[in-house]
Amino acid sequence: MKRNKHKKGHFYWLLARNYISFTLALVISFSFIAIVATLRISGVLKNEENSTPDLYLDILKNGNYEDFPVEDLLDIDGSIVILDENLKPIYQSSDNINTTYSSNDLLLIPDYNMNSYTHAETYIDANDKERILVTSYVYKNKTAVNQELWIFDEQLNVIYNTRNINISTLTPLEFSYLTRNINNSFEAMKYSFKGNDGENYTMILLKSLINNKTLIKVSHTIKYTLWTFLILYLIMIICFIYWLHRKVNKPLALLDEAILNFSTGDYDMGINYSGPTEFVQICDNFNCMARRLSESEAQKKKLENEKKKILANISHDLKTPITVIQGYSKAICDNIIKDDQKDLYLNIIYQKSQSLTELINSFSEYNKLDHPDFKLNLTKVDICEFSREYLAERYDELEVAGFLLDADIPEEILTCSIDSFQLTRVFENIISNCLKYNPRETTLFFNIEKADDKVKLTLGDNGLGIPNESSEHIFEPFVVGDSSRGTKEGSGLGLAIAKKIVQEHHGKISLKNPPSQGFSTEFEILLPLS
């Protein structure tokens, strides 16, 4: 089977390929966005790690505490308090913050430059008493190098600590210093330095846990990342849907246009589409349907024209004998005709009525063959034996008419499924024409031979022959006499009926032009072997 060059693979493969491409594009886009977001977050965290009081030590040593970048180091709500050696506050960056710190407070507040992590949790000991466990880890190069444990009871009495600090009880504020969480709002850290005046100072740094600039930047980065991905995802979805719409809508639009043209009677406008196999197949099927309907419409018009022609011809052929019969019978009834001429007139009336009957019978048979309910009564018959019997029955008639018979029928059995009655009519119509239009001493030929999976029957004569201009229309209805043999006799439906009968047998009948040597007229009938 010839492959359709317009086909470009199955539609589901096209969907699969493009969906995979869409997924890969989505993954690549998301990966790119994630990488950019990760680099941005890493930059923010790196800036926070690199931002330490050590960078501003000169400001602290010179005592220019107002120039210390509190917000950059401690976020928006952060504050600092500078304490001298006696723990007396000498500077505070904002009002309403605690400026009173004891030596115990400084022991519990973690150092700023110490990368540590503190975790507090409650548990029930073996005596069913609630205890508080505080664990601190000190990290160096992301590895824990020191661990500190504190255990408290419900009143924050110190039960155990690994620092061997002589503290028996902590206040809630001191406990918040230890856990780096002041009222769930600030984280306290300390930084010690020596001023240019030789005095030792301690800076208390209060970093906001709520308005953490780093967390806000990270949160914004994540939010923008998600929004960017969502927008990109929606754009890609819209593009994919638009692409799918174009792929599906294009053949549907072509099909819709073709159907509209089809409804107006334009059957010749085919669909020229190149794309997925399924859509190409639909368009091809539509083109095939349109072509068949166009051929059917043309055939219908041809049949209608033939029917009109048949009606016109039969009206004409009926009119002539009826007019003669009416005129002659009227003359006899009015006693216009002499007595010695009445027999002649009656004989003419009888002959015309015979012609009229023949014409009506032929027309009736022709229409019956065209009826959808017409069916052959097929039986398997040896076509050679069947033909010999038929010729034997007609031999005497041919001899009386002065015609010769030359039959060449093989002895082998050639079986065909035929309707004996209808096939006999085919032979009768062809041979009757030979007898009607040829002079005496004309030889009739009847030959049978096997041709592959068919039987070829040859019927003809060496008489007057058929003019070339009439041979093309010989099987059309009402082709008689003056248009074929030079006379106007018969109904002109014999060969048309013969053709229909042969076609009903799934065979073929034709007039060979030019005929074979020795023939003037040669009909060839092909019938399938059973």
Beta bridge partners of 455: 450, 527
Specify the DSSP class assigned to residue 68: S
Asked if 484 contacts 466 with a C-beta cutoff of 8 angstroms, the reply is: yes
Asked if 118 contacts 177 with a C-beta cutoff of 8 angstroms, the reply is: no
Q: Per-residue pLDDT for 9 more than 80?
A: no
Print burial letters for 150-170: b (CB count within 10 Å at least 16), e (below 16): bbbeeeeeeeebeeeeeeeeb
Q: Per-residue pLDDT for 314 more than 80?
A: no
Among the residue ranges 99-108, 230-239, 279-288, 311-320, the one predicted with the least confidence is 311-320
167 backbone dihedrals φ, ψ, rounded to 5°: -130, 125
Q: Per-residue pLDDT for 359 more than 90?
A: no
What does the pLDDT average to over 451-463? Answer: 93
| Distance of alpha carbon 273 from alpha carbon 281, whole angstroms | 10
Q: For the chain, give the mean pLDDT.
A: 82
Going by DSSP bridges, is the β-strand pair 454-461/443-451 parallel, antiparallel, or unpaired? Answer: antiparallel
| Distance of alpha carbon 524 from alpha carbon 515, whole angstroms | 10
* Tokens at 138, concatenated: 């000190």
| Distance of alpha carbon 123 from alpha carbon 130, whole angstroms | 6
Residue 389: which pLDDT band, with cuts at 50, 70 and 90? Answer: very high
Query: What pLDDT score was predicted for residue 462?
Result: 93
Asked if 108 contacts 136 with a C-beta cutoff of 8 angstroms, the reply is: no
Distance of CA 396 to the CA centre of its chain: 72
Task: Give residue-wise pLDDT tens across range 394-441.
Answer: 888 888 889 999 999 999 999 999 999 989 989 988 998 888 889 999
| Distance of alpha carbon 130 from alpha carbon 510, whole angstroms | 116
Query: What pLDDT score was predicted for residue 212?
Result: 59
**Residues ≥6 apart with Cβ < 8 Å to 310:** 363, 366, 477, 478
Name the fold adopted by 295-369. Answer: Helix Hairpins (1.10.287)
Residue 474: which pLDDT band, with cuts at 50, 70 and 90? Answer: confident
Question: Domain locations in the chain?
Answer: 77-210, 295-369, 375-528
> What's 97-160 look like in SS3?
CCCCCCHHHHHHCCECCCCEEEEEEEEECCCCCEEEEEEEEEEECCEEEEEEEEEECCCCEEEE
Q: How far from 41 is each of 46, 215, 289, 387, CA to CA, in Å? A: 8, 10, 65, 103
Beta bridge partners of 461: 444, 521
Task: Give residue-wise pLDDT tens across range 184-218.
Answer: 678 888 999 999 998 999 999 888 776 556 666 77
Residue 473 parent element (H or E): none
Q: Per-residue pLDDT for 3 more than 50?
A: no
Query: What pLDDT score was predicted for residue 142?
Result: 67
Residue 93's nearest CA partner among 114, 113, 76 is 76
Query: What pLDDT score was predicted for residue 215?
Result: 67
Query: What pLDDT score was predicted for residue 488?
Result: 46
Which residue carries 């010989």 as its tokens?
Answer: 474
What does the pLDDT average to over 130-157? Answer: 84
Class for the domain spanning 375-528: alpha beta
What does the pLDDT average to over 484-513? Answer: 77
Query: What pLDDT score was predicted for residue 491?
Result: 58
* Tokens at 375, concatenated: 């069916």
| Distance of alpha carbon 93 from alpha carbon 67, whole angstroms | 10
Q: What percent of the chain has pLDDT over 70?
A: 86
Query: What pLDDT score was predicted for residue 54?
Result: 84
**Residues ≥6 apart with Cβ < 8 Å to 149:** 133, 134, 135, 136, 160, 161, 162
Do 295-369 and 375-528 share a fold? no
Q: How far from 251 is each of 3, 247, 254, 259, 280, CA to CA, in Å? A: 20, 8, 5, 12, 8
Q: Per-residue pLDDT for 319 more than 90?
A: no
